[in-house]
């Protein structure tokens, strides 16, 4: 019995025909990095004594990868990357690739967003169902970092200094220079009447930056009633 393992099925059929063997495909398996249509296993085994006209049972490599529905994948958002990369490779033959980092007040190294071929699979607000993934492919992820990112510039005007400190320090930035407008009895209870950089919608500020403020004992007339 010849050794057919590793040969393309087209060649094996020609070799088998010369011996009047009948080829029977019993199974096909997709192997990452291996082209389809190649013999992976055979019965009878190599060097067995086989009569002419015998059936030869083959397992061949599959052309198309096995598919996975996103519904069946474990949770990605909020999970630690180093744990998930092992789980996805061993259980689903899917790779996870870091494409970006993004500031998050939680711990670093956790998955904030996952995409497959540009399509969102999971983030803080949703988990997409019904997406078909092929084994061997890659899911792109964005990971959390606790520093070095950017956040929207907060609007501190009309807040007390204590309120502003509490709000921005939780986001990784701090109050910088404090300028007093008039006499101030208690700094923490004074109201912010201006800030630098100024608040603009969607304008960003790097983490670990500072915001300079001017405070007054008097609540600004154009602020909403407290």
CATH number of the domain that residue 209 is part of = 3.30.10.20
Specify whether 163 is located in the same domain as 132: no
Token readout for 80 is: 């630690």
Specify whether 140 is located in the same domain as 155: no
Q: Final residue of a domain: which of 145, 175, 204?
A: 145
Residue for token digits 């005007």?
A: 157
Specify whether 105 is located in the same domain as 158: no
Specify whether 36 is located in the same domain as 77: no
Q: Final residue of a domain: which of 145, 179, 204?
A: 145
Q: Final residue of a domain: which of 145, 169, 203?
A: 145
Query: Is residue 123 classed exposed, middle or buried when 0-12, 13-18 and 19+ CB atoms within 10 A define those classes?
Result: middle
Q: What is the pLDDT of residue 202?
A: 81
Specify whether 132 is located in the same domain as 163: no
For 24, 30, 118, 167, the CA distances from 67, given in Å and listed in that order, are 25, 10, 18, 46
Percent of the chain predicted with pLDDT > 90: 62
Specify whether 24 is located in the same domain as 92: no
Specify whether 72 is located in the same domain as 49: no
Specify whether 163 is located in the same domain as 140: no
Q: What DSSP line would sit under 132-191, residue for residue?
A: EEETT-EEEEEEEESSS-EEEPP--TTSBHHHHHHHHHTTT-EEEEEEEES--S-GGGSE
Closest to 168 measured CA to CA, from 176, 178, 158? 176
Q: What is the pLDDT of residue 198?
A: 95
Q: What is the pTM of this model?
A: 0.50
Question: Is the residue at 206 inside a domain?
Answer: yes
Q: Indicate the pLDDT class of residue 148, thresholds 50, 70 and 90.
A: low
Range of the structural domain that residue 23 is part of? 9-61
Percent of the chain predicted with pLDDT > 70: 98
Q: Indicate the pLDDT class of residue 167, thresholds 50, 70 and 90.
A: confident
CB 97 within 8 A of CB 114: no
* Mean pLDDT value across residues 97-109: 85
Give how many domains the chain has, as a whole number: 3
């Amino acid at each position: 019995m010849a050794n057919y393992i590793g040969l393309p099925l087209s060649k094996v059929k020609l070799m088998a025909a010369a011996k009047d063997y009948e080829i029977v495909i019993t199974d096909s398996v997709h192997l990452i990095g291996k082209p389809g249509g190649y013999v992976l296993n055979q019965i009878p085994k190599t060097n067995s004594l086989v009569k002419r006209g015998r059936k030869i049972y083959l397992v061949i490599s599959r052309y198309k990868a096995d598919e996975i529905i996103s519904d069946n994948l474990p949770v990605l958002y909020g999970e630690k990357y180093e744990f998930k990369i092992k789980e996805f490779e061993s259980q689903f033959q899917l790779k996870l690739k870091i494409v970006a980092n993004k500031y998050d007040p939680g711990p670093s190294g956790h998955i904030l967003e996952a995409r497959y071929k540009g399509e969102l699979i999971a983030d803080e607000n949703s988990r997409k169902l019904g997406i078909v993934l092929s084994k061997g492919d890659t899911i792109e992820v964005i990971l959390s970092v606790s520093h070095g990112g950017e956040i929207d510039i907060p609007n501190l005007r009309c807040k007390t200094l204590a309120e502003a400190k509490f709000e921005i320090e939780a986001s990784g930035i701090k109050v910088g220079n404090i300028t007093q407008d008039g006499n101030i009895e208690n700094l923490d209870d004074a109201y912010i009447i201006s800030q630098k950089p100024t608040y603009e919608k969607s304008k960003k500020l790097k983490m670990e930056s500072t915001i300079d403020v001017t405070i007054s004992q008097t609540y600004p007339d154009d602020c909403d009633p407290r």
